[in-house]
Each structure stands twice: as structure tokens, then as C-alpha cells.
Amino acid sequence: MSKITNLIAGLAGAAALNILHETLKKQSSNVPRVDLLGEDAIQRTLRYFGGHIDDKETLYNATLAGDLVGNTLYYSLIGAGSAKYLWPKAIFVGLSAGIGAVKLPKPMGLDDTPVTKTDEVKILTVGYYLFGALVTAAVVNLINKKA
């Protein structure tokens, strides 16, 4: 499979993850707010270099763009190598990203509350990333069948 194909599949997974997140965050207050975690990470990084983003919409857009690019690149790894292990790789990549999203913010000095405030939110956070990985694998599988 080509790198371009992997990136296209990764983008599909990243977009699916973000669509799921954006849809559900409007439905309930007891869902992960990965966007708030991302905004915190961007602001802390910018502050380290002496900057910040004042405008909420600009910060939101920068976070969304960063999420799409980062998750696209990460999910594109699912299509690399043998197609024989496509689904186990997708599960591993998705679970790793989700568990990392829950476990890594606090040690990194970020406010982990948006993804850890309840056990339900923690499980949903992991589920979101697993969902994106499975969408990626499905797109890889679909492209491989058409090739």
C-alpha cells in the first residue's frame, strides 16, 4: 500500500474521530472534551516560547487543525506493512492513542480533567480513538479491495 493511500485512510480516521467528538460534545456534558485538552497543550507550548492565542475561535481552529494533522499521521501507520495484521494493528493503535490521551496529560503538566473527570469519560476517550483507528482500517481495507 502506498504512503498516499495510508495518509488518505489516516485522514478518514482522524476526520471520523473529530466528527464523533464534535457531535457528542454538543449532546452531553459527560463526554470527553479532547478539544479542551488540545487547547491547553497549544497554549502551554506557545507560552513556553513567549506567545499565546487570545481569540477563542483561532485557538479552537488551531487545535482542530493540529488534531487532524497529528491523528492523520498517527493513524496512517495502520496501513503500513502486511495487510494480514490490519485489524490487530488498528486495535492496538486505537487503544494506545486512547489510553495515552487519558494517562499522559497529567504527567505532561496538562489539565487532564476534560478526559478523566469520570470513568465514563475515560472509557469514551479510549473509545473515540479506537473508533478513529477502526475507520482507518476499514478505509484501508476498502481501498485494498478496489485495487
Q: Is the pLDDT of residue 146 over 90?
A: no
CA 108 vs CA 41, 46, 123, 138: distances in Å: 9, 15, 20, 32
Q: Work out the end-to-end distance of the chain between its first and last CA atoms, rounded to an integer number of angstroms.
A: 10
- Collapsing DSSP states into helix, strand and coil, what is residue 128? helix
Do the beta carbons of residue 107 and residue 38 sit within 8 Å? no
Average pLDDT over the chain, rounded to an integer: 96
Residue at grid coordinates 487532564? 112
Does pLDDT of 1 surpass 80? no
